[in-house]
Amino acid sequence: MPYAPVSSGPGYRGAVAHITGHVRIAAPVEQVFDTVADSRNEPSFNPAMAGVELLTPLPIGLGTRFRARMGRPGTEMLVELTAFDRPHRLGSRTTSSMMETSGALTFAAEGEGTVMGWDWQVHPKGWMRMLGPLVRPLGGRMERRIWTELKHQLENNGPARSA
């Protein structure tokens, strides 16, 4: 079920959207994983991302946290890596004033390339809950756009910062 009412505690009624997809990238699986694992790379392929700061010491791995700013108003998000199985699976939880997103990216070698999949649970907060049924299609298009830009970057420009 792509959209289902949920209750997560007293006084809160919200919605959850399930967003999934995949993209094939003509780059080695380790390169794709490392580029994505270091969220400081995301502004190079996500035009909505204004900047990302590493909050925890290197190396990047389970429990690593980032602070990201989205768009011109500078909406802040906290990103925490909740699973780190290089180069196969990268789990994360992202929280902001507008929503909480949790889930994972998966990476599978296919020939000399990679199939990267995403599987997110998006929990809108506050006024964003009113957008309920729109979260899935809008979020799905946004994810597809972001990861397609990553694909173009890696296939045309080579690696970014490595985890």
Q: What is the pLDDT of residues 15-60, one digit of tens each?
A: 677 889 999 999 999 999 999 999 999 999 998 889 999 999 999 9
pLDDT exceeds cutoff 80 at 88: yes
Q: Give the mean pLDDT of 7-15.
A: 38
What is the extent of the structural domain holding 94?
Answer: 3-157
pTM: 0.82
Output 12 or 40, whichever has higher pLDDT: 40
Classify residue 57: in a domain, yes or no.
yes
Classify residue 115: in a domain, yes or no.
yes
Classify residue 143: in a domain, yes or no.
yes
Give the mean pLDDT of the chain. Answer: 83
Classify residue 38: in a domain, yes or no.
yes
pLDDT exceeds cutoff 80 at 158: no
pLDDT exceeds cutoff 80 at 163: no
Residue 105's nearest CA partner among 79, 129, 124 is: 79
| 3 state SS for the chain | CCEEEEECCCCCEEEEEEEEEEEEECCCHHHHHHHHHCHHHHHHCCCCEEEEEECCCCCCCCCCEEEEEECCCCEEEEEEEEEEECCCEEEEEEEECCEEEEEEEEEEEECCEEEEEEEEEEEECHHHHHHHHHHHHHHHHHHHHHHHHHHHHHHHHCCCCCC
Banded pLDDT at 10 (limits 50, 70, 90): very low
Classify residue 163: in a domain, yes or no.
no
* pLDDT (0 to 100) of residue 17: 79
Q: Give the Å distances, CA to CA, from 126 to 99, 129, 131, 139.
A: 8, 6, 10, 17
Classify residue 65: in a domain, yes or no.
yes
Classify residue 162: in a domain, yes or no.
no
CATH number of residue 68's parent domain: 3.30.530.20
Number of domains in the chain: 1
* pLDDT (0 to 100) of residue 42: 94
Classify residue 54: in a domain, yes or no.
yes
What residue has token string 């079920």? Answer: 1
pLDDT exceeds cutoff 60 at 137: no
